Amino acid sequence: MNQPFRTVLLPGRHHVLTRFQADYLHALLAGQVTDTEGEPVEMAEDAVVVWAVTSANHRGTRRNPVPVTRREAAIERFALTEGIESLVVGVVDVAPTERFAELTVKTVAHETGGQRTPTPADTVVACSTAAVIAMYRALGFRVVPVEAGHPDDPARPWDVLGMLVAGD
């Protein structure tokens, strides 16, 4: 029998955090979410959400207008307010590569001194981007789809950011 997952790996730029994300993470940590294959995901009571903040070395650019320090502060406040045990790890920007998932996993392991080394046995990946999901699945990770395919069709964080920029 598989052990419950101890880690949720949430890769992304994390410019915006949403109510949907908070509710989804609470449901995931409570064991109320299924993975992309429709299988229930069991979480350990002491599970931690690792926010892999990508493009951490970019700031003030069109793609990354918010520096990693501000994104980290927002995540920490969000997690504290929501009562979600979390850890934030910055991941440097790289050119598009099929090794993105591998780079992110290795960065988390390095930045946590090996104390939070994501493996398919103890980590579930939370991601709604099809290409990124495929990369983690190729490494053997189970994935929960967050907004992707959700019946309520919630806006993804980058959609919310776009609405903010457009003045919506």
pLDDT at 69: 87
Neighbours of 62 (CB within 10 A): 6
* C-alpha distances out from residue 39 to 48, 50, 95, 142, 164, Å: 20, 22, 33, 9, 35
Report the alpha-carbon angle 44-50-56, nearest 5: 175
Q: What is the pLDDT of residues 116-140, one digit of tens each?
A: 999 999 999 999 999 999 999 999 9
Read off the tokens for 80: 């504290």
Calculate the alpha carbon distances from 137 to 87, 111, 140, 162 in Å.
22, 23, 5, 28
What are the boundaries of each domain within the chain?
Answer: 5-165
pLDDT in tens, 40-91: 999 999 999 999 998 777 665 666 677 888 889 999 999 999 999 999 998 8
- Find the helix packing angle between 130-138 and 100-111, rounded to 10°: 70
Class of domain 5-165: alpha beta
